[in-house]
Amino acid sequence: MADTIAEAVQQAAENITENANVKIPATPEGMFLAYSSLVIMALLPIFFGSKRSVSHQKEQKESSEKPDIMTKKDAMMFPIIASCALFGLYIFFKIFSKEYINLLLTGYFFVLGVLALSHLMAPVISKLVPSSIPYVPFHIKFTKGTNEDLIDYKFTSYDIVCLIISTIVGVWYLFKKHWIANNLFGLAFAVNGVELLHLNNVITGCILLGGLFIYDIFWVFGTNVMVTVAKSFEAPIKLVFPQDLLEKGLSASNFAMLGLGDIVIPGIFIALLLRYDYSLKRKSKVYFYATFIAYFMGLMATIFVMHVYKHAQPALLYLVPACVITPICVAMVRGDLKSLFAYEDHPEEKKEDEKESKEKPKSDVAGKAEKKKIK
């Protein structure tokens, strides 16, 4: 009798454990809430990051700071480099323990996330900081010799407040891996990426988007590499939202996700179009808003197809055509096609590069001539 009772208790315990591990199927309401939230979280970084990119460009020109721009060669190489990195991570996850890899990545992204969130919050926090906290500027400078600056960083007491708040979020993410903390870091990465990563012209943007269009299709449809890495990679490189939030609350675990690459890559192209709009000095920002809406429609198409076919979709398959074709069509209608492809954020950089490339062969020829004279 006692043995029978013990077996029954053990069986019941096993059933409870199995049921606890089974994911609750997402309800239509839960799915709608999750995907709506992901769409909103995707649109916000592009909108605000694009606006901030305009200010960043003005600051660069005013300070005569040499911008870091993506060249056509960089755009061509980016999908290849991204493929190598992706496949490398896939191999690492197959060979080594996932826990140890994610431990290293967590520490790395903790530092990056704190800095990104601090930079994002700085304009807001500076307005909210009480007057009891004085505004004190600081300047850290570390030089080598007389001219070479190794570190030249300016910050204020308000930036320190931002850093403290961001560190609290970082510690929360570090120990709990909570999806809200993940999204705060993810949104910070996305906004900073759209703001700071500048494509110099539309042609470079088309090359980049075209290459990543092929990259995304291959790694999602051709292999299981992308999906495996995305599910194994515990880092804030994706936005997530629980589909079972209504049932489980903040402890929900059945997540829908969207990679940051599907936000930042089209986002930097849309930001370029906003800067082009400003260069036209017109009242309307038609290229920005038209492509922004096209991005939204492409994202909705991705979600629709994914829901119908019950299979992960390469979002860039839908986003790239939407973001590339839309501004070209608008330019054709408005007669701006030549202007669109001729526009450059920093034309002076291209002229300097061309000048250097022309001067280099001349200097080489002169050097060879001098050697001949010496002989």
> Has 244 been annotated as catalytic?
no
| Inter-CA distances, 243 with 24, 296, 318, 348, Å | 9, 21, 23, 49
Question: What does the DSSP 8-state code read for residue 315?
Answer: T
Short-list 292, 350, 232, CA closest to 48: 292
Which of 216, 244, 336, 345 is the catalytic position? 216
Q: How many Å apart are CA 331 and CA 304, to the nearest integer?
A: 29
Containing H/E element for 325? helix 316-334
> Has 345 been annotated as catalytic?
no
**Joined tokens for residue 136:** 């004190």
Q: How many Å apart are CA 375 and CA 368, to the nearest integer?
A: 11
Which of 262, 277, 336, 345 is the catalytic position? 262
Residue type (1 letter), 128: L
Query: In residues, how long is the chain?
Result: 375
State the greatest distance between any 2 C-alpha atoms of the chain, in Å, as a whole number.
109
Short-list 96, 97, 165, 94, CA closest to 128: 165
CB of 166 closer than 8 Å to CB of 174:
no
Active-site positions read 216, 262
